[in-house]
């Protein structure tokens, strides 16, 4: 069987109602100030940024979103016994909700479904923190130590977890097929995984609406909608 690795970006989740960040109608394209909400230094220094971030989380689409056809296709591919690993830049948890095994998903940028204390590092559920916001706490603090809470995502100014990144690099170096799906391949070091895979002999297939910096390394570029094109590509290896 062919080993398939999938690097997924924001584009795989737009059909679930989660807008991307840098596309023509992306969150940061429409509101450049919103990027501050995801910047660690701003978040830690400015209580108003934190309060706005909690309001955005409260009204955001991530926790309401459901997996779409692309997520379900990957889960079906795994259930059929195919060797697959998912490396995702997304923080929405939709791969796991679709049924992909937790151990087969690497979340490079963390998860928006949890919160972490920036002081004592205790993790807890995002839904519980949002319940506190709904109850009137506009900047809820850690119940263990009183520290600042943030979503368990990697913000600008924070390093990726070196263990998770190391696992992703190992997968990129050993896979036979590497699919880059719905990612602009502009955010490093995640984007470099496509190049690493190609350099180590993987067949690189890029499924994305816009050109990427790694298109020249790809054996195949697909510009068709992800919800229909990804299942078709996976069917070749199932």
Among the options 42, 71, 95, 109, which is catalytic?
A: 109
- The C-alpha atoms of residue 185 and residue 197 are separated, in whole angstroms, by 13
Residue whose entry in the numeric block shows the structure tokens 């949002």: 130
Contacts 24+ apart (CB under 8 A), 102-106: 104/78, 106/164, 106/167, 106/168, 106/171
- The C-alpha atoms of residue 199 and residue 26 are separated, in whole angstroms, by 31
- The C-alpha atoms of residue 191 and residue 198 are separated, in whole angstroms, by 12
- The C-alpha atoms of residue 230 and residue 238 are separated, in whole angstroms, by 12
Two tokens, residue 81: 């016994």
Residue whose entry in the numeric block shows the structure tokens 């779409």: 68
CB 5 within 8 A of CB 171: yes
CB-CB neighbours of 55 under 10 Å = 13
* 109 annotated active-site: yes
In this structure, the chain runs to a length of 238
Which are the catalytic amino acids?
109
């Amino acid at each position: 069987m062919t080993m398939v690795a999938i690097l997924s970006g924001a584009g795989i989740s737009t059909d679930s109602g989660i807008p991307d960040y840098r596309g023509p109608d992306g969150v940061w394209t429409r509101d450049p100030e919103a990027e501050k909400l995801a910047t660690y230094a701003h978040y830690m220094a400015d209580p108003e940024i934190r309060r706005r971030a909690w309001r955005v989380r409260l009204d955001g689409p991530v926790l309401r979103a459901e997996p779409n056809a692309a997520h379900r296709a990957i889960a079906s591919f795994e259930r059929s016994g195919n060797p697959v690993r998912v490396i995702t830049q997304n923080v929405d948890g939709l791969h796991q909700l679709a049924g992909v095994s937790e151990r087969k998903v690497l979340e490079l940028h963390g998860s928006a479904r949890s919160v972490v204390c920036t002081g004592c590092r205790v993790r807890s559920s995002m839904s519980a923190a949002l319940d506190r916001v709904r109850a009137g706490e506009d900047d809820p603090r850690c119940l263990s130590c009183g520290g600042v809470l943030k979503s368990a995502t990697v913000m600008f100014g924070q390093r990726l977890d070196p263990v998770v990144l190391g696992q992703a690099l190992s997968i990129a170096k050993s896979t036979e097929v590497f699919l880059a799906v719905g990612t602009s391949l502009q955010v490093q070091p995640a984007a470099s995984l496509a190049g690493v895979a190609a350099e180590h002999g993987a067949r690189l297939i890029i499924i994305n609406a816009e050109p990427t910096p790694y298109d020249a390394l790809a054996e195949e570029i697909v510009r068709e909608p992800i919800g229909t094109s990804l299942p078709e590509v996976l069917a070749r290896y199932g």
